[in-house]
């Protein structure tokens, strides 16, 4: 996902370029708004965390880009490409180092396992929307 801060800042193109350059294939992609309720569902694993309210408010504050990406070793390689959750700790050349402003508003999301990638892909896309 490209989060609302990066969409607002006009960085969709820059981020997609980095994703392409890193060798990911885009299987499905859409530009949309999610409601507060949908953000709460998407991030329900974080429901008990102190930042849950802030996170779900932020994720429903403006348009996002959701995509399914494919590559060998995609989960690990994408997490490497996006960098640490806190951009202050992200390595040079990562998406978050370049485009994220804070630990909360950190430009992108990546699934943390193949299993969660499948769940999150199904959250946003139907079978008809995959190429």
Residues at the contact surface with ligand ATP, assessed by CB under 6 A: 46, 51, 54-55, 85, 103-104, 106, 109-110, 112
CB of 31 to ligand ATP, least distance (A): 18
Alpha helices in the chain (DSSP H): 4-8, 12-21, 36-42, 52-59, 74-82, 95-99, 114-124
Minimum Å distance from CB 128 to ligand ATP?
A: 26
- Is 46 tagged catalytic? no
Q: Which one of the listed residues 78, 109, 110, 120 is annotated catalytic? A: 109
Known binding positions for ATP: 3, 51, 79, 85, 96, 106
Question: Between 14 and 85, whose beta carbon lies closer to ligand ATP?
Answer: 85
Which is closer to ligand ATP, CB of 35 or CB of 102? 102
Q: Cα separation of 49 and 108, whole Å?
A: 19
Q: Between 11 and 131, whose beta carbon lies closer to ligand ATP?
A: 11
Name beta bridge partners: 68: 28
Binding residues: 3, 51, 79, 85, 96, 106
Question: Tokens standing for 18?
Answer: 């980095």
Please state, in angstroms and as integers, the Cα–Cα distance from residue 105 to each residue in 70, 74, 108, 127, following that order: 25, 23, 9, 30
Going by C-alpha positions, the residue among 38, 12, 9 that lies closest to residue 26 is 12
Closest distance between ligand ATP and the C-beta of residue 90, in Å?
Answer: 10
The residues assigned a catalytic role are 109
């Amino acid at each position: 996902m490209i989060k609302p801060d990066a969409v607002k800042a006009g960085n969709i193109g820059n981020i997609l370029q980095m994703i392409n350059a890193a060798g990911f294939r885009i299987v499905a992609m859409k530009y949309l708004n999610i409601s507060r309720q949908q953000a709460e569902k998407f991030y329900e694993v974080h429901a008990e965390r102190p930042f849950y309210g802030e996170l779900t408010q932020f994720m429903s504050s403006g348009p996002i880009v959701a995509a399914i990406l494919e590559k060998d070793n995609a989960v690990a390689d994408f997490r490497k490409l996006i960098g640490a959750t806190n951009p202050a700790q992200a390595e040079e050349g990562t998406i978050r180092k370049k485009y994220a402003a804070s630990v909360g508003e950190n430009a992108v999301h990546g699934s943390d396992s193949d299993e969660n990638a499948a769940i999150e892909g199904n959250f946003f896309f139907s079978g008809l929307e995959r190429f």
